[in-house]
Amino acid sequence: MSPPKPPSRPDHVSLWRYMQLFRADILSAQPARLYRARMAEFRTPFFRSFLMNQPDLVKTVLKDRPDDFPKSDRIGEGLRPLLGNSVFLTNGDVWKRQRRIIDPAFEGGRLRETFPAIWNASEAAAGRLQEGVSEIEAQTSHAAADVIFRTLFSIPIENELAAAVFEEFRTYQRSQPILNLAAFVPLPRWMPRLFRGDTRASAARIRALITQLVVQRADEIALGTAPQDLATKIMTTADPVTGETFSPEEMVDQVAIFFLAGHETSASALAWALYLMALYPDWQDKVAAEAQALEICDFSVMSKLPITRDVFRETLRLYPPVPMMVRQATQTEQFRDRSAPRGSQLVISPWHLHRHERLWERPDDFDPARWHTENGKSCQRDAYIPFSAGARVCTGAGFAMVEGVLILARLLRDFEVETVPNRDPVPVAHLTVRARDGIWLNLRKRQR
């Protein structure tokens, strides 16, 4: 049994129709041939775009020469009202300074320090589940948001401010397409961007709430009463080059992306993992058995969940939360037999690369055991980038793997999940890869 594929568009449609499809949902706009192509070119009257679907090309852009291929401003335009000048959108020296301040908070030892908060969030998530049919994306969003607030600000999701941010973000995430018109038309800087009014207003409300959290934490740091969590670590870390710390406004930008990246992506991956477990009960039982064998709740349990880790890794292959990344050529480049002019958009798509027919054995099959085959090991090195790669690899990649694996195991320890007839989810791209009408599962208490 294979997970359902997104619908493919015809190979030949008008530019206007393609723009409509692309804006509504990136995944349904993709033709089947792109899952075989090593490279593809897409031309508009305004710019040229190239899909980089070959491992050595991806390596050139992400790992070997990242400074020559900065993030595209066109893609960032759609997220700027929420994320401001965050590390997700910046380039060059500004980005490097931000990473020098942020990265120490996510270094190895910090995972052990934050583990109790993740464990507590997983316990709370299991406690919220009830038997019966449930829209599981709502549950995983709640759990992932709880993790973020517990690890970042040492507060549970039930905290008044945390709950307000979470509820407002639920409004934002469905109103925000991953691209806006600026992705297609190189608008002058002075021209207003065509954001939806509700999207802009929601982003402003989220930033106002985050500002309250940042101001409160700054006061606690000044008084010496701040907990030693991720927010305190980041706000008190000085750039080793300049000696500067983040200003309050800069910290609001960073918290916004931590919430977006750490909550939205984890929620997406967890929901799809639970759906896949409902499709494949044999694997579900293996994950549950691992979880039920745990006797302690410290960081050492992570080494006792190898099957769960393989399941979560395979979920990230089939449903990478961020389906596409866009870089921009700063000079004319030669890729394969094509010339990419300066300013070209270079699209690196985990969605296509992870399902590439020339690279993976049975690319559309769910098979966690593949990671122990020669093909799986080779592709993991060269064609698996759920967290990007190179200098801009996600800072929280290790954090996400601990969170996703632990919560998945914890939920399946107590509950069996089954598919609901006639409610097969269809993957679409909002801020991340979500299901068009949600992921509906039937939950039953698991017998030990």
* Residue 203 pLDDT: 87
Residue 374 falls within a domain, yes or no?
yes
> What is the average pLDDT across 310-319?
97
Residue 65 falls within a domain, yes or no?
yes
Residue 9 falls within a domain, yes or no?
no
- Which comes out higher in pLDDT, residue 140 or 264? 140
Residue 252 and residue 211 in contact, taking contact as beta carbons nearer than 8 Å: yes
CATH classification at residue 94: 1.10.630.10
Distance from C-alpha of 330 to C-alpha of 92, rounded to nearest angstrom: 12
Residue 294 falls within a domain, yes or no?
yes
Residue 211 falls within a domain, yes or no?
yes
Residue 331 and residue 431 in contact, taking contact as beta carbons nearer than 8 Å: no
Distance from C-alpha of 388 to C-alpha of 285, rounded to nearest angstrom: 31
Question: What is this structure's pTM?
Answer: 0.90
Identify which of 32-46, 307-321, 387-401, 426-440 has the greatest average pLDDT: 307-321
- Which comes out higher in pLDDT, residue 441 or 10? 441
The residue behind tokens 């039930």 is 158
> What is the average pLDDT across 337-350?
91
Calculate the alpha carbon distances from 384 to 19, 58, 228, 349, 377 in Å: 28, 11, 34, 10, 10
Distance from C-alpha of 74 to C-alpha of 183, rounded to nearest angstrom: 5
Residue 446 and residue 413 in contact, taking contact as beta carbons nearer than 8 Å: yes
Give the domain range for residue 159.
Answer: 15-445
Return the number of other C-beta atoms located less than 10 Å from residue 414's C-beta.
Answer: 16
Q: 208 CB contacts (<8 Å, ≥6 apart)? A: none
Residue 3 falls within a domain, yes or no?
no
Residue 6 falls within a domain, yes or no?
no
Say if residue 20's pLDDT is above 60: no
* Residue 428 pLDDT: 83
Task: Give how many domains the chain has, as a whole number.
Answer: 1
User: Per mean pLDDT, which range of 125-129, 164-168, 236-240, 288-292 is the poorest?
Assistant: 164-168
* Residue 23 pLDDT: 54
Residue 4 falls within a domain, yes or no?
no
Burial class of residue 18, CB neighbours in 10 A (0-12, 13-18, 19+) = middle
> What is the average pLDDT across 135-150?
94
| Torsion angle, alpha carbons of 166, 305, 282, 35, to 10 | 70
- Residue 313's Cα: distance from chain center in Å? 13
Distance from C-alpha of 361 to C-alpha of 31, rounded to nearest angstrom: 20
Distance from C-alpha of 431 to C-alpha of 314, rounded to nearest angstrom: 21
Q: What percent of the chain has pLDDT over 90?
A: 63
Distance from C-alpha of 263 to C-alpha of 385, rounded to nearest angstrom: 19
- Which comes out higher in pLDDT, residue 109 or 444? 444
